[in-house]
Amino acid sequence: MDDGKLTDFEDEDHESFQLRPERSDLGARLDRYVADNLPSLSRGTVQGLIESGHVRVDGFQRKPKFRMTPGEVVTVEVPPPQLDEILPDAIPLTVVYEDADVIVIDKPAGMVVHPAPGHARGTLANALVAHVPGISVGGSLRPGIVHRLDKDTSGLIVAAKTDRGRNALVSQWEERTVEKSYLTLVSGVVEDSEATIDAPIGRDPKNRQRMAVVRSGRPAVTHFRVVERFSNSTLLEVSIETGRTHQIRVHLAFIGHPVVGDRIYGREHPADSYLQRQFLHASGLGFRLPDGTHKQFAAPLPEDLERTLNQIRAQASFRD
């Protein structure tokens, strides 16, 4: 858990949260308490989760009007969208690799991975259902997406087309054997040529819409090495052992070098005038196929990020 009240788990097909009522929550209705502490869920959604048994207090299903007592543990499971809600959208995809079981996509910035309230269409999941009409995972017409990229993060993401593919991918994520690398431009000049950030991540107790490094958060490990230094920024290659929400962005901000263009964890940077999103790209992905063959994939920087680097280099050359 992060601030003594909430723990989240986000690398599965669903999200799970643990809430721990405090003295100030004494007597609060269960539905209102959960909605207040999980602002991404509407009260109506919370009531539906309670009625369907996805919210439990100390392991027991309760009614929405159940009154809270400090010391209880409220577990909230948010299941994935209903299978029949994932409709096919014929969105062009940059396919890096595809076989009978898995597909690797170079996701563009701006594309949401999973359908969610406000993003029922136009997501990667919708595009995959259209791209692979016979996709079947868990006996449904649903792609097996086992990891995520933020909406404004571009780069490599793998999805399963079959149960065989999903089982192979899930086991590797659980064993932390998947190789994930990123390219990112950060504010300031990073002095260390390479380093590791080992700091737990959880919900920010001051702003529950954000994540933060907090002592009681979940373990998170990020490695980086310097690729190129500029006068007021540094290009890094980053790899992660864990996959916490916003991990790279939170860790780099924690050491004083936030990702350039990051509107949540960053700070103003000259590149903000021509960069419309965070400079973060999933450039490398390595894993075993279901038949045991190891594959390594790479995705070049997209045009907007390459253009940003070229402008920074040009400015440096002009000053020289």
Q: What is the pLDDT of residues 257-307, one digit of tens each?
A: 999 999 999 999 999 988 999 999 999 999 999 999 999 999 999 999 999
Is 262 among the residues known to form the active site?
no
Which domains are present in the chain? 6-78 (3.10.290.10), 83-175 (3.30.2350.10), 179-319 (3.30.2350.10)
% of the chain beyond a pLDDT of 70: 89
Q: What is the pLDDT of residues 208-246, one digit of tens each?
A: 778 999 988 889 999 999 999 999 999 999 999 988 889
Task: Give the pLDDT score at 48.
Answer: 83
Q: What is the pLDDT of residues 149-187, one digit of tens each?
A: 999 999 999 999 998 999 999 889 988 899 999 999 999
Range 193-201 average pLDDT? 97
Q: What is the pLDDT of residues 80-112, one digit of tens each?
A: 655 445 888 999 999 999 999 999 999 999 999
SS3 of the chain: CCCCCEEEECCCCCEEEEECCCHHHCCCEHHHHHHHHCCCCCHHHHHHHHHCCCEEECCEECCCCCECCCCCCEEEEECCCCHHHCCCCCCCCCEEEECCCEEEEEECCCCCCCCECCECCCCHHHHHHHHCCCCCECCECCCEECCCCCCCCEEEEEEECCHHHHHHHHHHHHHCCCEEEEEEEEECCCCCCEEEEECCEEEECCEEEEEEECCCCECCEEEEEEEEECCCEEEEEEEECCCCCCHHHHHHHHCCCCECCCCCCCCCCHHHHCCCCCCEEEEEEEEECCCCCEEEEECCCCHHHHHHHHHHHHHHHHHC
Q: What is the pLDDT of residues 38-54, one digit of tens each?
A: 877 777 778 888 988 89
Q: Which of 150, 152, 204, 262 is catalytic?
A: 150
